[in-house]
A and B are shown apart, each in its own frame.
Chain A
Amino acid sequence: MSEASRMPDPECARAHGLLAEFADDDLPASQAAWLCGHLEACAQCRAALAEFAEIDRELNGWGRQLSLRNPPPGGAREQLAAKMASPAARRTPMRWIPAAAIAAALLVVVTMPNRKPAVVTSAANPSGSRFIEIPYLPPPDPHENSTIVRMNIRVATLISVGYRVTADPDTVVPADVLVGEDGRAYAVRVLSGIEWG
Chain B
Amino acid sequence: MADGATANPAKVATTADLARDEALRWFDELRDPLRRYLLCAGASPADADEAVQESFLRLYRQLEKSGDLSNLRGWVFQVARNYLRDERKSARRQRSVPLDDAMEREGRLADPRESPEHRMLGEERTRRLRAAIEKLPADQRECMLLRASGLRYREIAAVLEINISSVGVLVRRATVRLSEELA
Q: Which residues of A contact B (CB under 8 A)?
A: 2-3, 16-21, 23-24, 26, 48, 51-52, 54-56, 58-60, 62-67, 69-70, 72-73, 76-77, 79-81, 83-85, 89-90, 94, 135-136, 138-139, 142, 162
Contact = CB atoms under 8 A, between A and B. Distances in A.
B144 A69 contact: no
Contact of B168 (A20, A59, A60, A79): A20
Contacts of A60: 147-148, 150
Contacts of A94: 54
Interface in B8-54: 20, 23-24, 27-28, 31-32, 35-37, 39-40, 45, 48-49, 52-54
A3 B176 contact: yes
A24 B58 CA distance: 31
A139 B132 CA distance: 40
A139 B129 contact: no
B171 A20 contact: yes
Name, among B49, B129, B174, B175, the residue most crowded by chain A CB atoms within 10 Å (CB to CB).
B175
B20 A84 contact: yes
A76 B153 contact: no
7 contacts: A17-B165, A21-B164, A48-B172, A67-B32, A72-B32, A80-B27, A135-B82
B79 to A, nearest CB: 8
A63 B149 contact: yes
A81 B24 contact: yes
Contact of B60 (A20, A23, A84, A142): A84
A76 to B, nearest CB: 7
Q: Is the interface of B mostly helix, strand, loop or mixed?
A: helix
Contact of A26 (B125, B129, B148, B152): B152
A90 B15 CA distance: 14
B153 A26 contact: yes
Given A2-B176, A17-B165, A72-B49, A62 B130 contact: yes
Contacts of A59: 129, 144, 147-148
Interface residues of B, number: 60
Contact of A51 (B31, B52, B165, B179): B179
Chain A facing B: main interface SS = helix
A98 B129 CA distance: 37
Interface in B139-154: 144, 147-150, 152-154
Q: Which of A20, A23, A51, A54 has the most chain B CB within a 10 Å cutoff?
A: A20
B168 A17 contact: yes
Interface string B158-178: 000000110111011111101
Contact of B109 (A20, A26, A63, A69): A69
Top-10 shortest CB links A-B: A63-B148, A17-B168, A20-B153, A3-B176, A70-B45, A20-B168, A59-B148, A16-B172, A66-B39, A69-B109
A62 B169 CA distance: 22
B61 A58 contact: no
